[in-house]
Structure 1
């Protein structure tokens, strides 16, 4: 088979597709990944063939733009101002000309979206793939498949699906250019997606329409060296993982690592803290029993950890699910809040709104994860359910049946 994958402009959206890409190549199939030029290096580093033809849509820019609308509607929950989409400086919503700025922003988004749609359709015509795989926000792959009359399969990156009722979860992108109806491909909605690869175990299953293709989540957290850690001692290990994109999207108040570390210092635990070198200065002096690490793939850190504290991102959450590690999510974005709530509903974690989480609340929540057997039992159950799912190699065979049926 020839498989074309299209991916959106955020590595965490397509990293969960990488093991399936490896499985396709190992089975002898051809795979190319259409991406924006800014994503090509990450795709190539994963060992996949990048085709950097799509438009550049900066996800940080998109998040900041959406936040301005929330602020105007009175739905910005944070005690600090939202950020300007381009400069990243705080903006006073009461004086900022959002309507005027929105005209420029929407034209930019439409141009980049149209570039992506045209490029995906054109490359599909030239290369003639048998099937297109796309992440949830990469609608260009779905459109190109419909125009070419070949199967399209969406690939989820975590427990948020294509048929979410809450609009703030952005289950699908907005077709600003009306490219779908212009190409005779109907509307871009949940009904347009007929097949979905779902890596979430039962207990975290998100809502989708169409045919669900179950797959085990195999963590790919990007490149990195295995950390040299001594054997765990008598103290439980707690890993703290925080994306610097939180500050870039939501403001400096969304950097909670110092507060988390201070909370954990009040417990008899050992803390693993992987940090990007650029973020070390913001930490200040660290308390004892905090082991500062260079950034390393999370799936190499979590074995042996009794809990993990993170921002609610799907990559962190799903990697912890695979490891069977109880989780505390401190989310800021709506998708992260949904993930934290779904982990809590499954019993495998707890969630506190990031901007409301005090040091005492963080300390008590981690203590609850460590001392309450039901959390570790639920996390172990999720891990067992995840590992019992079909492997990426199994899913390759399912994809092959879709191409022979058309």
Structure 2
């Protein structure tokens, strides 16, 4: 069976889809992952075959993020529009690829635009695989603006429903009715790797706080702010950052380990993960049962709020992101074992879900392979 994955337009969905893609390859199936120009190195870095579907570069992504509206609803609509534009741009390259390598099945990310369009043209099943816990319905208003004319040309009123919808949210964080029509899958972390140093897989006597603002970060100020906020708490700080911002941060924050660290290795050694509400960071923390402090969340606010309500995280309110606010919240979380206990309950729930290998069996049933 040939499976084409089209996860999304940033590194995070690439990493999140990787466990199912690898599982399919391990079961003997052929896999190709489609991505915009920016993410092709990330696909290759996790050992998957990559094909370019659109000429969208890292600079293009940075420009879009820099101009995104601050209001969460407007920002979500803008993301829906740009993802839909890329989905339409990608159709011809994908069709040309299919002339040489025709997929039996197409797996798309939560902004489910490119995959069902292509699957409809090719007459093959499409699968929707969530890559984080954020409700992608918020992107729909912007997406409809762009997709409506193209769908009408194809005789469609809306995007075709997926033949299979796979959800990775732990049961304790699902909204009522969220699992209706969906099949669960155990989410597993996959990261680009590097040669490990001993401190990455073992820690000293101090509590370890990992700070990140995600793979789409193009400036170091948020990380510097968070690191300085916890400097007087007597903790060990590790900062995860793309190299494009890490060099300046090392000069600014001597004595702190800064750079790309495989989070699947580091997370089990962490006592707290301080971040922006990023999907893969959140899912990795959940997988390992690590409490989270969420700062500067935007469109992920609802999903992170459910985690805080569950008791496995704290989420600072807008306007309460100052150094004193961050330090107070970190101190509280590190001193209260109930956060770790609740996070551990969610990790156990995730571990009980069907593995990616089991889900490959569902894919085989769809494609008759």
TM-score bracket, shorter-length normalisation = 0.7 to 0.9
1:353-380, CA deviations, whole angstroms, 9 ceiling, x for partnerless residues?
Answer: 4653111111111112112222111100
Q: 1:243 to 1:354 in 2, by over 3 A?
A: farther
SS at match of 1:23: helix
Q: Distance in 2 between matches of 1:62 and 1:375?
A: 36
Given that 2:214 and 2:241 are in contact with CA atoms closer than 8 Å, whether structure 1 keeps it comes out as no
* 1:14 shift after superposition: 2.0
Farther off after superposition, 349-358 or 277-286: 277-286
Q: 1:11 to 1:247 in 2, by over 3 A?
A: closer
SS at match of 1:303: helix
Q: Distance in 1 between matches of 2:55 and 2:364?
A: 29
Structure 1 residues 263-342: aligned runs within 5 Å:
263-277=229-243, 278-282=245-249, 286=253, 291-335=256-300, 337-342=301-306
Partner residue of 1:130? 104
Partner residue of 2:121? 147
Q: 1:110 to 1:171 in 2, by over 3 A?
A: closer
Q: Distance in 1 between matches of 2:229 and 2:68?
A: 32
SS at match of 2:20: helix
Given that 1:55 and 1:112 are in contact with CA atoms closer than 8 Å, whether structure 2 keeps it comes out as no
Farther off after superposition, 7-16 or 267-276: 267-276
Q: 1:119 to 1:369 in 2, by over 3 A?
A: same
Given that 1:9 and 1:39 are in contact with CA atoms closer than 8 Å, whether structure 2 keeps it comes out as yes
Q: 1:43 to 1:227 in 2, by over 3 A?
A: same
1:179-220, CA deviations, whole angstroms, 9 ceiling, x for partnerless residues?
Answer: 2232234313xx734422212211233675873121111111
Partner residue of 1:184? 155
Q: 1:332 to 1:179 in 2, by over 3 A?
A: same
* 1:7 shift after superposition: 3.4
SS at match of 2:311: coil
Structure 1 residues 41-60: aligned runs within 5 Å:
41-56=41-56, 58-60=60-62
Q: 1:275 to 1:147 in 2, by over 3 A?
A: closer
What runs of 5+ residues in structure 1 fail to find an aligned partner?
77-84, 86-105
Partner residue of 2:37? 37
**Which residue, out of 336, 343, 351, partners 1:379?**
343
Larger helix proportion of the pair? 2
RMSD (Å), alpha carbons: 3.2
SS at match of 2:173: coil
Given that 2:186 and 2:355 are in contact with CA atoms closer than 8 Å, whether structure 1 keeps it comes out as yes
Q: 1:186 to 1:223 in 2, by over 3 A?
A: farther
Partner residue of 2:168? 199
Q: Distance in 2 between matches of 1:171 and 1:13?
A: 21
1:209-258, CA deviations, whole angstroms, 9 ceiling, x for partnerless residues?
Answer: 8731211111112232323218534322111122373556xxx8xx3223
* 1:139 shift after superposition: 1.3
* 1:332 shift after superposition: 4.0
Partner residue of 1:80? none
Give the TM-score, by structure 2 length. Answer: 0.85
What runs of 5+ residues in structure 2 fail to find an aligned partner?
none
SS at match of 2:248: helix
SS at match of 2:360: helix
Q: Distance in 1 between matches of 2:356 and 2:235?
A: 36
**Which residue, out of 258, 267, 276, partners 2:224?**
258
Given that 2:12 and 2:215 are in contact with CA atoms closer than 8 Å, whether structure 1 keeps it comes out as no
Structure 1 residues 43-122: aligned runs within 5 Å:
43-56=43-56, 58-67=60-69, 70=71, 112-122=86-96
User: Quick check: which has more Rg, 1 or 2?
Assistant: 1
